[in-house]
Amino acid sequence: MSALVQSMATGLLLGGIYAVLAIGLDIIYGVLDLVHMAIGEFLMLAMYTTFFLYTLFGINEFILLFVVPLIFLIVSIPCYHGVFKIMIGKPHSFHILYTASLSIALQSAALVLWTSIPRRMNIPYGAEAIRLGPILLNKALVIASILAVVVTVFTFIFLFKTDLGMVIRAAISNRKLISLIGIDPHRVYLLAFSLGMVLIGLGGVLLSFYYTVSPTVGLAYTMYMWVAIVLGGPGTIKGCLLGASIIGVSQTISGLYLPVAFKDVIVLVIFVIVLVFRPKGLFRK
């Protein structure tokens, strides 16, 4: 019994981190209507950045929480103009094929540059556990998860209490309206894209507390993020949280009863089942 509770707890902690990623993707999809299939690779890059800064330069992991997203923020601007802007207005099939090719390019580049050896941030407390009653939770994961919640709260505040945030929310609801209010839609797109990238950067740092990175992890995360969004219904933070939690929990619980490799299968099976019965996601927009 306690094993089940422990799994669920761990799953929820993971879900918290996944939620940050899902919200990032959700903003990009909601505002730019962009089906980004290479987002996992960007996450992978965030994790590698975190790893190298931590290992080679000894930068503290909490400081990295600011450094890496900042790097991503800066990088997001040329990235948007050079690579992503071209997708706006094109049909979804274009996005999928284009970003899928991009993901192959990035994945291969990572393979060339850093080889397939998995890398892990050697956090001193990474192997320690915190005891919460009958259950044991990984200390690094707990800390990362708490930070993830903080990030989510800040994002929430940004989206709901600031002017910029309101613009983004308005854009998610109705993109065409934005130009009618007199705001240049392209600036909104850039803002949303950068915000999404920042969140991915943050998520990358947080995931690095607990997971290893290698060039091929991108694909799985891309899947998780999209499943999270679709499960929860695109366009709501609530949905992202729900979707991310489902993914986290199903991963850990499946680890109890099924072979390790199956953790992805369960997520996918749930995904397919949900899509069949609720083609528009669990929460409609």
Partner 1 sequence: MTKTKWAITSRSKLITIILLVLLSSVFPLFSSKYIIHILVICWLLAISSIGWNICYGYTGLLSFGHTVFFGISAYITLWLLVPFQITPWIGIFIGASIACVLGLLITFVTIRTRGIYFALATFALPQILIIIFNTFWQVTGGAYGVIIPFAEENAYLMYFYDPVFYYYIALAFLISVLVLQLRLSESKLGYCLRAIGSDEDAANSLGIDPFRTRLFGMGISSFVTGLSGGIFVNFLKFIDPVQAFGWPLNIQMILGTVVGGVGTIFGPVIGVLVVVPLTEIMKLLIEQHFRGLNLVINGVILMLFIVLMPRGVYPWLKKLFEKYLGG
Which positions touch partner 1 (CB under 8 A)? Answer: 35, 86, 90, 92-94, 96-98, 100-109, 111-112, 219, 223, 226-227, 230, 259, 261-262, 264-265, 268-269, 271-272, 275-276, 279-280
CB of 93 to partner 1, least distance (A): 5
Q: CA of 112: how far to CAs of 56, 109, 115, in Å?
A: 19, 5, 6
CB of 251 to partner 1, least distance (A): 13
CA–CA distance, 54 with 67 (Å, rounded to integer): 11
**Residue whose CB is less far from partner 1, 12 or 75:** 75
- Residue placing its CB nearer to partner 1 in the complex, 28 or 159: 28
CB-wise, 29 or 209, nearer to partner 1?
Answer: 29
Contacts for 226 with CB less than 8 Å, ≥ 6 apart: 25
Query: Least separation, in Å, of the C-beta of 285 and partner 1?
Result: 14
Q: Hey, what are 137's tokens? A: 């939770």
Select 60 or 101, whichever has its Cβ closest to partner 1.
Answer: 101
Contact 27, 13 (CB under 8 A): no
**83 or 164: whose CB is closer to partner 1?**
83
**CB 141 to partner 1: min, Å:** 24
Amino acid in the structure at residue 184: D
In this structure, are residues 37 and 95 in contact, taking their beta carbons and an 8 Å threshold?
Answer: yes
- Residue 58 tokens, joined: 């000894």
Could you tell me the two tokens for 243? Answer: 């979707």
Minimum CB distance to partner 1, residue 275 (Å): 5
